[in-house]
Amino acid sequence: MEGWKNQLYFGDNLEVLRRHIPVASIDLIYLDPPFNSNATYNMLFKEPSGDQSAAQIAAFDDTWKWGPQAEEAFDEAVMAGPPDLAELLKALHQVLRRSNMLAYLSMMAVRLVEMHRVLKPTGSLFLHCDPTASHYIKLILDSIFSPKNFRNEIIWERSQPKGHATTRFSRAHDTIFYYSKSEKLVFNPQFTEHDPGYLEKFYRHVEPETGRRYHLDNLLNPNKERPNLTYEFPPGSGTVRVWRWTQERMMQAWAEGRVVIPEGGVARYKRYLDEMQGTLVKDIWYDIEHLHGSSKEHMGYQTQKPEALLARIIRAASHEGDVVLDPFCGCGTAVAVAERLQRRWIGIDVTYLAIDLIRKRLADSFGKERAEYEEIGIPRDVPSAERLFKLDPFQFEYWALAAVGARSARDKRGADRGIDGVMNLRDEYSGEYKKIILQVKGGQVSVSQVRDLKGVLEREKGEIGVFLTLRKPTRQMQKEADEAGPFIDQGFPEKRFPRLQILTIEEIFAGKKINFPTWWSQDTFKKATRRRKNNPEESQNNLLKELQEPYDAGGV
């Protein structure tokens, strides 16, 4: 891993995959792409008219609509994608027409083609989805990865069902499709602790001299036509049977005392419990609980997946030092677990809110232990901030707010009521909550906008207002801000702070911050639980127990 820097990309994963990720460079891809959950996710698209939709500006909105981008993706997949994918999409077009479902499948298809390209021949892909589109997605995956490289349809049974069971059975599972790039792949079997009932039933024997529990396993071969495995055992018994093992191996186990013959029975193998790793994990995962508000690791991100789930996937399909890619990384569970398990990682997300959350999560989780990583696509100077504004004004707004520690105040419909961002802070002395209201402007600015912010500040009863601007303010704008007067904290009347502040993007890059009382504290996101890096003695079972304990506000 020496010389490697993990990578966190802010941008469209299709462009990042094409421009930055080399062919056959990734060992494992995990993705949880959004679709139709009425939740908030991490994709932004334009309306069929080409205009930005107010209903789609919220960070993490999961609306994939048919429009110019979807049509372009469909055409590209049909004309330049694998032949089987082209034929499949043309057939789906006949059935689905120009629907949102076809838009979703087209947008996913071109991305999955790129993911197939960047996987190593021994690499694997795990795609997490719900039943809404899973049947279509499997067809897309088959056409790109080939049905022969389909490994599993994993059913993750959540403990909390979705919906009421009045007209159907409650929905309580997600689907994870597991594909490999080729028939030669990395796979490490995973185990869980044995169920107590299973142990009582199958490991009921105890060796008196050692106290070791054991199970008597069948040694007979169900295939009766195996001449090389047909011989007399025990020696001199005159009984010839077809055995599972060769005679040489059977005699060695006999000499070691591992073959026993119960009274009146057939030879059986003594299998000790302490030699078994546990119960082999199958394709139905019922032992990993869905996150809820009381979970230690829950960060308030609606589609957040448990670390134990990602740990199982990453352990199963990669080794230490391998590269894990999450192209829809959301709140960063995959990259955080990859970091802890000493894998290299690449995360991509199209919203700055997600990027900022991941940065905080890594810092909170690992502190000084955290490996260095590059942040790519994030504005580093005024010209790059201007490029972001031209590309996507809403993402520019999210980035500018996050740069000063604020969060977006827009609702699902995109309405801002004259407020782009807000900082809710707590006075450490009085215990009262204080509010800072922000407006963000990337285009031309005028004195009337500062005057409007002054009115919003009065209406919302905020303590301080901040005008964040990409352009330099005019003298009239600064004069209007100064005329708002100072904010005076009643607990410290000698302290004065500008009630209306103008802060430029250039000043932010120079290190200037919002001027407010130092005794006002803020936490934008819930802090992630501190995690240790991979420990050779740490087991999957211990991780499951640790992560699924209820959150203890006094002990975390």
Reported confidence tier of residue 445, pLDDT bands at 50, 70, 90: very high
Residue keyed to tokens 């060796």:
207
- Domain 382-521: give its CATH architecture: 3-Layer(aba) Sandwich (3.40)
> Can you tell me the mean pLDDT for 413-419?
64
DSSP for 167-207 reads: SSPPEEEEEEEEEESSSS------EEPPPHHHHHHH--EE-
Mean of the per-residue pLDDT values of the chain = 86
Per-residue pLDDT tens over the stretch 365-410: 887 666 679 999 999 999 999 999 998 898 899 899 989 989 888 7
Which position has the higher pLDDT, 25 or 370?
25
> Can you tell me the mean pLDDT for 223-241?
91
pLDDT at residue 531 tops 80: no
Q: Which CATH number fits domain 6-191+282-376: 3.40.50.970, 3.30.565.10, 3.40.50.150, 3.40.50.10800?
A: 3.40.50.150
Q: In angstroms, rounded to a whole number, what is the distance separating the alpha carbons of residues 290 and 309?
A: 9
Q: What is the pLDDT of residue 550?
A: 34
Q: Same fold for the domain at 6-191+282-376 and the one at 382-521? A: no
Range in 10-14, 66-70, 295-299, 548-552 with the lowest mean pLDDT: 548-552
* Structural domain boundaries in the chain: 6-191+282-376, 194-277, 382-521
Q: How many CB atoms lie within 10 A of CB 543?
A: 19
> Can you tell me the mean pLDDT for 92-116?
95
Per-residue pLDDT tens over the stretch 75-86: 999 999 999 999
**E strands, 419-491, where?**
421-427, 433-441, 464-469, 486-488
pTM for the full model?
Answer: 0.78
pLDDT at residue 142 tops 60: yes
**Which two structure tokens, joined as six digits, stand for 118?**
């960047």
